[in-house]
Structure 1
Amino acid sequence: MTDTPLPRAAEVIAAHDAALLGPALAPEADDLRGWIAVNHFHNRSLWAQEDLARRTRAPDAEIVANKRAIDRHNQARNDAIERIDEFLLAALGLVDPATLASALPRSTVAAGARLNSETAGSMLDRISILGLKIAAMHEQAQRQDVDEAHRQSCGERLQRLQQQRADLGACFDELLADAAAGRAYFKVYRQFKMYNDPRLNPALVAEAR
């Protein structure tokens, strides 16, 4: 393992919640926590663009702009997940550093460790999205322009979302603890998004001919 301190779920959740209290500013990333912040920023931006893209009275050009922004943020979100996994695997000593940024990072896991089907970065991504859902549902539960039944329903959903985030955070901490102890591991799973690549999207290839 390297000297990079591993994040705990509670630390990440606190950072996610704090970021939502201010404006959505794109963070700089050159370390693990920076990439966690980048992932959260793009999830937050995706959330806003998804809302706007569902407007029914906006001009078509605005909806197209929203859809293209969604593509950009989704690509950046997935790129950040991969970078998070790279940093975590390096910190845990579970990958050959020389192959880390390649399409096929070479695992250095000891025999007998179980492979976790979900990566740690993907778990943090889900925790980020749950944070957005919790913030939005909290607003709904506090609305004064709706009836009590609406507030109560949203309050119940809020409790369930908070439980889901706590459960996922505990699973994240357990995975990192097991990985550090040699009992479990995960890999960098490359998304290879084809629709944004003009070399791989058939429609874009045909358009360029």
Structure 2
Amino acid sequence: MENFSANANAIFDRATQDYHLLNHVDAFMKNPFQSGTIDFLLYEKNWIDVVQWHLEDIIRDPDIDPFKALEIKRRIDRSNQERTDLVEKIDDYFLNLFKEVKPLPYASINTESPAWAIDRLSILAVKIYHMRDEVNRTDADEQHVINCREKLNILLNQREDLSQAIDTLLREIGEGKKYMKVYRQMKMYNDPSLNPVLYSKPIK
């Protein structure tokens, strides 16, 4: 677990780069890692993030057909649910990994579970890729490049800090100094039994 973030960042960068070899939201790339492993889950997680990044770009086209926009919005909603489900699978991996660890009497809980911190790390990889693209643009003016280079440096620093924090959290959970407590994301709007707009409709 000591270098978990370094491995995760490498996988996130690989998935983001793999997507851009095809560069289409409907593209498919076979996950190169063995099913059931944490590396497989990390690759899947980033693939969802990078596809959704591009869906968010497309839907902001001011000339987009309204029906197309609605279709994409619903696809983004599904993607968010898939993202949440995958984060919970990553947390399940850690719950199983640390199941034999007995928390020390003074052990404390973190503000978020490991997987939700890793979720932010994955999204950072996508941001860094695209901000680097902006820095390398040849059709942009000098000030744009300067501004984007400053933002890229901040993102890289943020990734370094977050990576260190994740590694520290995992180490302390393994040592019993922290403990995991996972709250499942009970999203109500996707559940036809909890969303009043859906459950109030008469059955056809």
TM > 0.5 between the two?
yes
Paired residue total: 193
Query: How many angstroms does 1:195 deviate by?
Result: 1.0
Q: Select the residue among 182, 189, 192 that pairs with 2:183.
A: 189
Whether 2:11 is the aligned partner of 1:15: answer yes
Query: How many angstroms does 1:6 deviate by?
Result: 7.5
- 8 Å contact kept, 2:113–2:180: yes
Question: What is the identity, as a one-letter code, of the residue corresponding to 1:92?
Answer: F
Query: How many angstroms does 1:76 deviate by?
Result: 0.6
Q: Select the residue among 164, 172, 176 that pairs with 1:178.
A: 172
- 8 Å contact kept, 1:94–1:109: no
Query: What is the CA–CA distance in structure 2 between the aligned matches of 1:192 and 1:149, rounded to whole Å?
Result: 44
Runs of 4+ in 1 over 4 A off after TM superposition: none
Query: What is the CA–CA distance in structure 2 between the aligned matches of 1:30 and 1:190, rounded to whole Å?
Result: 20
Residue segments in structure 1 that go unaligned for 5+ positions in a row: 96-107
Secondary structure of 1:192's partner?
Answer: coil
Q: Select the residue among 150, 156, 167 that pairs with 1:162.
A: 156
Residue segments in structure 2 that go unaligned for 5+ positions in a row: 20-27
Q: Percent identity?
A: 34
Using CA pairs below 8 Å that are at least 6 residues apart, which structure has the higher relative contact order? 2
- 8 Å contact kept, 1:6–1:88: no
Query: How many angstroms does 1:208 deviate by?
Result: 4.2
Query: How many angstroms does 1:188 deviate by?
Result: 1.7
- Compared with structure 1, are the counterparts of its residues 26 and 55 closer, same or farther at alpha carbon in structure 2 (3 Å cutoff)? farther
| CA-atom RMSD in angstroms | 1.9
- 8 Å contact kept, 1:32–1:88: no
- 8 Å contact kept, 1:29–1:38: no
- Aligned residue number for residue 25 of structure 1: 29
Question: What is the identity, as a one-letter code, of the residue corresponding to 2:95?
Answer: L
- 8 Å contact kept, 1:10–1:169: yes
Whether 2:146 is the aligned partner of 1:152: answer yes
Q: TM-score, normalised by structure 2?
A: 0.88
Whether 2:68 is the aligned partner of 1:72: answer no
- 8 Å contact kept, 1:114–1:184: yes
- Compared with structure 1, are the counterparts of its residues 147 and 20 closer, same or farther at alpha carbon in structure 2 (3 Å cutoff)? same
- Aligned residue number for residue 105 of structure 2: 111
Query: How many angstroms does 1:29 deviate by?
Result: 4.5
Question: What is the identity, as a one-letter code, of the residue corresponding to 2:159?
Answer: R
Query: How many angstroms does 1:91 deviate by?
Result: 0.5
Query: What is the CA–CA distance in structure 2 between the aligned matches of 1:46 and 1:25, rounded to whole Å?
Result: 15
Query: What is the CA–CA distance in structure 2 between the aligned matches of 1:203 and 1:58, rounded to whole Å?
Result: 27
